[in-house]
């Protein structure tokens, strides 16, 4: 009897997992569900988890209409190799006063790949 009971439990768990996976994939396919919602459901981040990394680089362009800045940056330890790419900024005010050619130091939220702080470095 014990064996039967265990099988029933395993089956129930499988059903729960399948339902969950089905729900997550419906969310992922639906246009109304933001992609990051899917990520949060499938890979729930522990509360308070927010990892930051520091980088340094040069402004290539500022793209306020996309809330982005394109940087040519050096290696960002523990996050990304040196490259040129666009990053979202957490606030439009971060873009204020920046122009191509400026040397900057920045802090990035590595989970969101979003710059949360950026300061000009005097050359």
Q: Tokens 């981040």 identify what position? A: 45
Residue (41 or 107) nearer to Cu ion, CB: 107
Least separation in angstroms between residue 74's CB and Cu ion is 11
Q: Which two tokens stand for residue 12?
A: 């129930």
Residue (76 or 98) nearer to Cu ion, CB: 76
Residue (24 or 53) nearer to Cu ion, CB: 53
Query: By the criterion CB under 5 A, which residues form the site for Cu ion?
Result: 80, 83, 85
Least separation in angstroms between residue 84's CB and Cu ion is 8
What's the Cα-to-Cα distance from 14 to each of 1, 9, 93, rounded to whole Å?
A: 20, 9, 48
Residue (28 or 63) nearer to Cu ion, CB: 63
Least separation in angstroms between residue 83's CB and Cu ion is 4
Least separation in angstroms between residue 85's CB and Cu ion is 4
Which of left, alpha, beta for 108 (phi over 0: left; psi -120 to 50: alpha)?
A: beta
Yes or no: say if 40 and 105 are a contact pair by the CB < 8 Å rule: no
Q: How far apart are CA 72 and CA 13, in angstroms?
A: 48
């Amino acid at each position: 009897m014990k064996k039967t009971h265990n099988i029933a439990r395993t089956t129930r768990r499988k059903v729960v997992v399948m339902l969950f996976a089905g729900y997550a994939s419906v969310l992922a396919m639906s246009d109304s569900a933001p992609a990051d919602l899917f990520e949060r459901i499938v890979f729930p981040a522990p509360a308070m988890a927010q990892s930051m990394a520091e980088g340094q680089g040069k402004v290539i362009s500022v793209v306020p209409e996309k809330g982005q800045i394109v940087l040519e940056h050096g290696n960002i330890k523990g996050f990304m190799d040196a490259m040129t790419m666009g990053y979202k900024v957490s606030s439009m005010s971060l873009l204020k006063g920046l122009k191509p050619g400026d040397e900057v130091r920045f802090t990035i939220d590595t989970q969101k790949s979003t710059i949360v702080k950026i300061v000009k470095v005097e050359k």
